[in-house]
Amino acid sequence: MDRSTYIDNIDVDLAKKTYFDRLNIKLEVEEVKVIESLDRVTAEAVIAKISSPNYNAAAMDGIAVRAGDTLGATETKPMTLEENKDFIYINTGNPIRDPYDAVIMIEDVIDLGEGKVQILKSAHPWQHVRQIGEDIVATEMIIPSKHKIRPIDIGALISGGIERVKVYKKPRIGILPTGTEIIEDVKDLEEGKIIDSNSRVFEASVIKLGGLPKRYPPHKDDYQLLKNAILKGVEENDILLINAGSSAGTTDYTVKLIRELGEVVIHGVAMKPGKPTILGVIKDKPVIGIPGYPVSAYLVFDNFVRPLIEKYIGLKEKEEELIQATISKRIVSSLKNKDLVRVNLGYVNDRLVATPLSSGAGVTMSLVKADGIAIIPQNVEGVEAGDLIDVELLKPLSEIKKSIVSIGSHDLIMDILGDILPLSSGHVGSMGGILAMKRGECHIAPIHLLDEETGEYNISYVKKYFPNEKMALIKGVKRQQGFIVRKGNPKNIKDFKDLAREDILYINRQRGAGTRILLDYHLRVDNINPDKVKGYEREMTTHMAVATGVKTGTADCGLGIYSAAKALDLDFIDVTYEDYDFLIPEKLLDEPMIAEFIQVLKSKEFQDRVQALGGYKFGETGEIIII
């Protein structure tokens, strides 16, 4: 079995420079109509052919006069002028011709009737006259070369008498998805198959950059098929992207084929995710092998393919727009790699705080939800909570400023809130939320923590963890917790004692989750050793993940909320209603965005949508308890 497990670990910037230097990029130029040139990039500086205005033009509605004639006119010594002798009426834009050389605004002209007017002030020469070339002077540079044409540029080009403009040709980007497991149609989805999504992300990204994407259908991992496809892709495009097939697995022909058909310049970059990137050349054209995991694919595209396409489009190299944020959690990083970490961002206590999202390279949703990408440079062994880090923004800062940052327990109602309000929501369990709040990382923390002694929810925890701070609880919902089991409850699960049965496979929540605390409480009450619960160590971070485990048969039972069971058409055995509330520092209650949050909680729209999920009760929803 041939397993080429060896790949390089080249610094990202060095890899990019080495590769781009190796490429022999020749830009092609074409001429397009100015009116069709939006977003195209100029291949040369554009010089005005005519001046604008091309005549001396009235800048105001009024009368055209000879400035010299009006000398001496004052409020106490008004001057009378005669139409067609001393002045003519003109509108904005009319030519000012010899002998006239100035305009008096209509507001400053007193109409005496019979073609006569009075003025109370002399005019100075060329007043209210747009002189020839005031806007654009012939031979003046309108826009430089390598400039992306904006709407306003089109206006200036037209005014400068330009009808056609030389721009760089749009590069053609071939996109070749590979892998026997890849399918195109969701209808063909079965175990072991994956719907091709990366190639569609690339396609859309190429369009946004201004290139011409050409996407090929997914190709099987077949040596000859792939070879033909790569040759065709190189023939038909300026750049070829090959997706998947760049890790070290048995069926990865990409690197071998690029080496056979051309040259592998770099295989393996010091970036995580994105390590197994292949930067190659075939027939003088760049061919890039991109790893298959969605997040790796996206970041490799962003770090290598985007700058390459920008070169082909003719854009000058841009610097990343980075912003500094305070990282809220320790991130362990290897000295070997530059780490790219998806983060949520929020302004909390006037600091921009970055909270890492789930780090799996397969988690597309972490990119969809991310506000930015935090960069942990190579040669840095991770960062500590509180450190300042560089972040590349994925959303405008103005949007981030308006977002409520929520860190804590997961519930489906957070999705509904996030659809109504600007809300950035991190799911780390109730205790995780309390700790995040203590570190000043969030505005609100959704929690549902049972006090085993009083049977009361949340309040005692807040007292314990915030002894010196004025905190508040915004009451949320009462939600039903219970056992999520397969339809018809085939294993006949009734209570916590059943979880210790030999034939029951459980699926658990992570430590710190309120639901986990609820489980552990009941196990203790019923004197059940967690070791006896098979699957106790399989920790999921959301209710839906637990329900999905049950739905697909990899577990028999998990503790979770009713709405998760209902969403996947599973059965549900009621355990308890619990209080799912929002912890907040008292001083934030006056913030307009919190007022809006409370208003939404109380709104009919929100409550109707939550009712439709099932398993929720309202009551004190939106009320405030000061602790």
Name which of 290, 210, 275 is nearest 243 in CA terms: 290
Residue 590 binds its own copies, judged by CB under 8 A: no
Return the SS3 of 128: coil
Residue 392 binds its own copies, judged by CB under 8 A: no
Residues within window 66-95 making contact with its own copies, judged by CB under 8 A: 89, 91-95
**Closer by beta carbon to its own copies, 18 or else 145:** 145
Return the SS3 of 275: coil
**Closer by beta carbon to its own copies, 458 or else 508:** 508
Please pick, from the candidates 231, 367, 625, 627, the single residue that binds its own copies as defined by CB under 8 A: 367
Residue 133 binds its own copies, judged by CB under 8 A: yes
Residue 217 binds its own copies, judged by CB under 8 A: no
Residue 612 binds its own copies, judged by CB under 8 A: no
Q: Helix axis angle, 223-236 relative to 254-261, nearest 10°?
A: 60
Q: Would you state the structure tokens that stand for residue 514, as one six-digit string?
A: 């309120």
**Closer by beta carbon to its own copies, 115 or else 525:** 115
Residue 399 binds its own copies, judged by CB under 8 A: yes
Q: What share of the chain is helix, strand, coil (3-state, %, to 5)?
A: 30, 30, 40
Residue 103 binds its own copies, judged by CB under 8 A: no
Residue type, 49: K
Residue 54 binds its own copies, judged by CB under 8 A: yes
Residue type, 4: S
Residue 124 binds its own copies, judged by CB under 8 A: yes
What span, in angstroms and rounded, lies between the C-alpha atoms of 427 and 202? 29
Residue 259 binds its own copies, judged by CB under 8 A: no
Residue 292 binds its own copies, judged by CB under 8 A: yes
What span, in angstroms and rounded, lies between the C-alpha atoms of 624 and 584? 10
Stretch touching its own copies by CB under 8 A, among 143-151, 333-341, 452-460, 578-586: 143-151
Residues within window 315-334 making contact with its own copies, judged by CB under 8 A: 318-321
Name which of 440, 327, 307, 424 is nearest 374 in CA terms: 327
Binding mask 346-365 vs its own copies (x if CB under 8 A, - otherwise)?
A: --------------x-xxxx
Stretch touching its own copies by CB under 8 A, among 330-338, 377-385, 412-420, 524-532: 412-420
Residue 382 binds its own copies, judged by CB under 8 A: no
Residue 341 binds its own copies, judged by CB under 8 A: no
What span, in angstroms and rounded, lies between the C-alpha atoms of 133 and 140? 10
What span, in angstroms and rounded, lies between the C-alpha atoms of 567 and 572? 11
User: Is residue 531 within a helix (H) or strand (E), and if so which, with residue range?
Assistant: none
Residue 284 binds its own copies, judged by CB under 8 A: no
Within 13 Å, how many C-alpha atoms sit on residue 457's CB side? 25
Minimum distance, C-beta of residue 155 to its own copies, in the bound complex (Å): 4
**Closer by beta carbon to its own copies, 60 or else 434:** 60
Residue 198 binds its own copies, judged by CB under 8 A: yes
Stretch touching its own copies by CB under 8 A, among 38-46, 226-234, 428-436, 459-467: 38-46
Minimum distance, C-beta of residue 394 to its own copies, in the bound complex (Å): 8
Residue 501 binds its own copies, judged by CB under 8 A: no
Residue 627 binds its own copies, judged by CB under 8 A: no
SS3 assignment for 201-252 = HHHHHHHHHCCEEEECCCECCCHHHHHHHHHHHHHHCCEEEEECCCCCCCCC
Q: What is the distance of C-alpha 537 from the center of its chain?
A: 34
**Closer by beta carbon to its own copies, 9 or else 460:** 9
Q: Would you state the structure tokens that stand for residue 465, as one six-digit string?
A: 């963890």
Within 13 Å, how many C-alpha atoms sit on residue 585's CB side? 16
**Closer by beta carbon to its own copies, 318 or else 494:** 318
**Closer by beta carbon to its own copies, 57 or else 449:** 57
Stretch touching its own copies by CB under 8 A, among 281-289, 474-482, 549-557, 618-626: 549-557
DSSP string of 35-97, one letter each residue: GG-TT-BBSS-EE-SS-BSSS-EESSSEEEE-GGGGTT--SSS-EEEEBTTTEEEE-TT-B--
Minimum distance, C-beta of residue 494 to its own copies, in the bound complex (Å): 26
Residue 595 binds its own copies, judged by CB under 8 A: no
Residue 61 binds its own copies, judged by CB under 8 A: yes
